[in-house]
Structure formats: structure tokens, C-alpha cells
């Protein structure tokens, strides 16, 4: 039924009230004619008694609720101005305003509660607004049935903290089923070791997943015509296993390669969310060191994992992940050090193959190592595990037997990229 003011005029309703007050009409009859409840009837009757001449049925609108404190408006425009500077900077990975972020910022930082519609209204009035672009239909879906069935792993290179003026790499591992982010870290340089370290962190904390999903970056895959060198032209794609892939094979983890950037779409959504919040927070906190940026990243990952409902799954990632574990819908396996390995350092490491010289020494670039219990011209399997940015532990193996352990400065191992 339409609203009362659209079915009756004010004069008609006035006449009904006068006849009611004169006891000419009874209330059940009036309620049926007017199509309203008793409470509404007596509210209107009271308004009529107070002001018979000015009585109206039109809704009384007021703009008082639209008025906001001047300090609130000032902070809204301040936050939008900061975003505008970042959007105009081609080096910063931001293309749009994030009004929801501004709303959270006002609430947490300034203790000011403002509706999203108010922020958007101010943005439109002051030029902090882009016309709606055609959005791609979100047709992604969860294709896995178990947590640990497929781990999305990738890195992204951007100017995360514009004040620092140096681009960093964001390395992230995400569970396809739950969308839970297992690992996220900013590093100054992307190397084989940074990805092995990410893998080690995941496996030691959560267990061994069934498979990893990566692109065809040279760290993850040897591709003929791109990575070959002049004396290995006969080698085909995947006939050489990169260091990172060797670690996965040792753990018994299957590797799946994405053949196009579009195929990596599932991890791109969390990346966009992370980079959006990370950049905005780094700018507002004047972050200039990678350590400070990583602390902000940790906070944002916690918000993503434990506070926010994912748009695809409709669940908070952590709760979905825990529910899968409880319901035995997991392909994670317990990590155990299997013989002949004696330590996780023998698995999550960089590997080299060398032969001892006539003096039973092994050379790695300019560094020479006298190895115990070895013979001249003996094949050595060398495992290198960085302990700190400056020092590494070198473990010498021969035929599944650990012969010696030595420590060396990373600067002496110039052939190894940390």
C-alpha cells in the first residue's frame, strides 16, 4: 500500500479527525479507510490537535543529520588529499580512492565516526572522485576442496613506501581453499633464498602442502630460450631444476606453473588489498625503512586473515582454514626430518656440486675449505644455509653422509646469490 500522503490530502484527513473528535466516526472504521495502525493514527491526531492550521501529511525532512563537525570535514579532506598525491604518482601502485580506508582511518586515528556516504559526498564535492569505471564481473571461485591442496605463491615489486623512494618485493603465500595468507614479507632484493625462506616458514609452521602454484619466473622454472647459457643449448624446458624447485622436491611438494598472468588471478586480489592498505598506511606514517613497513604489513595481514570476510568464500580466512582442519579437509602433512638429513638446514638450503682437489679441498669462488674425511677428486654435495645476512653455515655431504660443517662469510661466497 502506498504512503498516506499519496492517497489522501491533508484536508481529507483533517475532516476525518474532526468527525472522530465529534464522535461521528469510530476508530476501527477510520483505521480501515486510512490503512494505518492505531499508533500511527494517534500520532497524527496529536499533531493535528497541536497545530490544526499547519497540519500536513508530507514527511518532515531536515538536513541537521547531514551536518558534521568542521574538524571531521577537515580530516576527511586531509585524508583524501593524501590519497590524491599517491594516485598522481606513477611509481605508486594506487589507481583509485579508497573511501572505506578513509572511514577506518578517521575512526581509529582520529576517533571520529563518519558514514561512508558522507565521505563519498565530500569527495564528489571537492574533486576527489572518479566516475565509475566498467568493472569486470567477479567470477572467480574456489576450485580446491581441501586446505593445503594448492598454495598460491608469488612476489610483487612496487614502491610500497614512497617516502623511502626505493621499491621492495612483497613475497606472499596464500591457501587457495581458505584464502588464508600463510606468509607475507617485504624484502629489498628478490633472490632464491628469500623464496626458500618463505617456504621453510610455511612448512615448519603449518606442515607440508600438496602443491605450490607459481609463475614461470626463473627462480621457479628453467625455460629454454630464456634461461639457457651458450654451452647448454641442448637442454629443454624443465630439464634443469632451479634451487627452489629442488627444495620442493625434497619435501615432496608438487609444482604447478601458471601459463599466464591471468591464471594468477586468485592471489592478485589479496595483493591488491594488501598493496592498497600497505601503501596508504606507509605514507601516513612516514615510513622510510623496510623494518617499519614490515610491521605495518604484519598488521594488515592480521586484519585480512582474522577480521575480514573474503568476497569469494563469504568467510573469514582464518575461520575457514580452522574449520577445514577440524573437519579433516586438509592435505597438509606433518613435516619430519627423514634420513639421511640431520637438520632442516639440509633441506631448506642452497645447493652446489663440487669436486675436491688433490689436497682434499673444495673451492667456492675465492673461498677454499679443507673438508674432513674426504679423498682427492671426490664428488661433494654442498648445502649452504644462511644464518644471518653476513654468515652462512656450509654443510659438506658425500653419498648421503655428512662429512663436515663450517661457517663462512657470505661475502666470500660470491657465486651464491642470497
Cell of 148: 593445503
CB 114 within 8 A of CB 69: no
Q: Per residue of the chain (418 residues), what is the pLDDT tens digit?
A: 567 878 888 888 888 888 888 888 888 888 888 888 888 889 888 989 988 888 888 766 554 445 678 899 899 999 999 999 888 888 888 888 999 899 988 988 888 888 899 999 999 989 898 876 555 544 455 578 999 999 999 888 888 888 888 899 999 999 999 999 999 999 999 999 999 999 999 999 999 999 999 987 788 876 655 455 544 444 444 445 789 999 999 999 999 987 655 555 555 666 678 888 999 999 999 998 999 999 999 999 999 999 888 888 889 999 999 999 999 999 999 999 999 999 999 999 999 999 999 999 999 887 889 999 899 999 999 999 999 989 999 999 999 999 999 999 988 886 555 5
Q: What share of residues in the chain are helix, strand, coil (percent, to 5)?
A: 40, 20, 45
CATH number assigned to the domain covering 151-326: 3.30.420.10
d(CA 11, CA 16): 9
Own/partner long-range contacts of 243-250 (Cβ < 8 Å, ≥24 apart)? 243/192, 243/196, 243/219, 243/350, 243/351, 244/192, 244/195, 244/196, 244/199, 244/219, 244/220, 245/220, 245/221, 246/351, 247/196, 247/199, 247/347, 247/348, 247/349, 248/199, 248/212, 250/347
d(CA 17, CA 14): 5
d(CA 189, CA 157): 10
Q: For the chain, what are the domain ranges? A: 4-50, 69-125, 151-326, 344-412
Q: Cell 586446505 sits at which residue? A: 147
Whether pTM > 0.85 for this model: the answer is no
Q: What does residue 385 show for φ and ψ, rounded to 5 degrees?
A: -125, 110
DSSP label at residue 80: H
Amino acid at each position: 500500500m502506498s504512503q498516506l500522503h499519496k492517497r489522501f490530502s491533508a484536508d481529507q484527513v483533517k475532516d476525518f479527525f474532526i468527525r472522530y473528535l465529534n464522535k461521528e466516526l469510530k476508530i476501527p472504521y477510520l483505521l480501515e479507510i486510512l490503512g494505518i495502525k492505531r499508533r500511527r493514527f494517534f500520532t497524527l491526531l496529536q499533531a493535528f490537535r497541536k497545530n490544526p492550521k499547519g497540519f500536513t501529511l508530507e514527511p518532515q525532512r531536515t538536513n541537521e543529520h547531514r551536518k558534521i563537525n568542521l574538524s571531521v570535514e577537515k580530516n576527511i579532506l586531509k585524508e583524501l588529499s593524501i590519497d590524491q598525491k599517491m594516485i598522481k604518482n606513477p611509481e605508486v601502485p594506487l589507481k583509485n580512492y579508497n573511501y572505506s580506508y578513509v572511514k577506518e582511518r578517521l575512526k581509529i586515528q582520529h576517533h571520529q565516526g563518519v558514514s561512508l556516504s558522507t565521505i563519498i559526498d565530500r569527495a564528489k564535492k571537492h574533486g576527489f572522485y572518479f566516475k565509475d569505471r566498467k568493472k569486470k564481473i567477479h567470477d572467480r571461485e574456489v576450485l580446491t576442496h581441501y586446505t593445503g591442496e594448492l598454495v598460491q605463491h608469488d612476489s610483487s615489486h612496487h614502491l610500497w613506501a614512497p617516502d623511502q623512494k626505493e621499491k621492495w618485493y612483497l613475497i606472499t603465500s596464500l591457501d587457495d581453499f581458505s584464502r588464508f595468507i600463510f606468509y607475507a614479507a617485504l624484502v629489498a632484493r628478490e633472490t632464491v633464498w628469500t623464496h626458500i625462506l618463505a617456504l621453510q616458514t610455511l612448512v615448519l609452521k603449518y606442515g607440508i602442502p600438496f602443491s605450490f602454484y607459481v609463475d614461470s619466473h626463473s627462480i621457479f622454472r628453467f625455460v629454454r630460450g630464456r634461461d639457457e647459457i651458450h654451452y647448454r643449448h641442448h637442454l629443454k624446458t624443465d630439464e634443469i631444476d632451479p634451487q627452489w624447485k629442488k627444495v620442493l622436491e625434497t619435501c615432496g611438494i608438487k609444482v604447478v606453473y601458471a601459463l599466464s598472468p591471468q591464471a594468477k588471478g586468485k592471489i592478485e586480489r589479496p595483493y591488491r588489498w594488501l598493496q592498497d592498505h600497505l601503501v596508504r598506511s606507509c605514507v601516513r606514517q612516514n615510513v622510510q625503512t623496510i623494518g617499519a613497513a614490515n610491521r605495518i604489513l604484519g598488521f594488515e595481514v592480521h586484519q585480512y586473515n582474522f577480521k575480514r570476510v573474503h568476497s569469494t568464500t563469504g568467510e573469514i580466512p582464518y575461520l575457514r582454514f580452522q574449520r577445514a582442519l577440524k573437519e579433516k579437509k586438509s592435505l597438509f602433512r606433518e613435516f619430519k626430518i627423514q634420513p639421511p638429513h640431520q637438520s632442516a638446514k639440509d633441506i631448506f638450503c642452497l645447493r652446489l656440486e663440487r669436486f675436491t682437489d688433490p689436497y682434499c679441498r673444495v673451492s667456492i669462488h675465492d673461498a677454499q675449505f679443507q673438508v674432513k674425511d674426504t679423498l682427492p677428486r671426490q664428488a661433494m654435495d654442498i648445502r649452504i644455509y644462511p644464518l644471518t645476512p653476513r654468515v652462512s653455515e656450509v654443510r659438506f655431504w658425500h653419498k648421503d653422509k655428512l662429512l663436515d660443517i663450517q661457517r663462512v662469510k657470505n661475502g666470500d661466497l660470491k657465486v651464491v646469490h642470497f
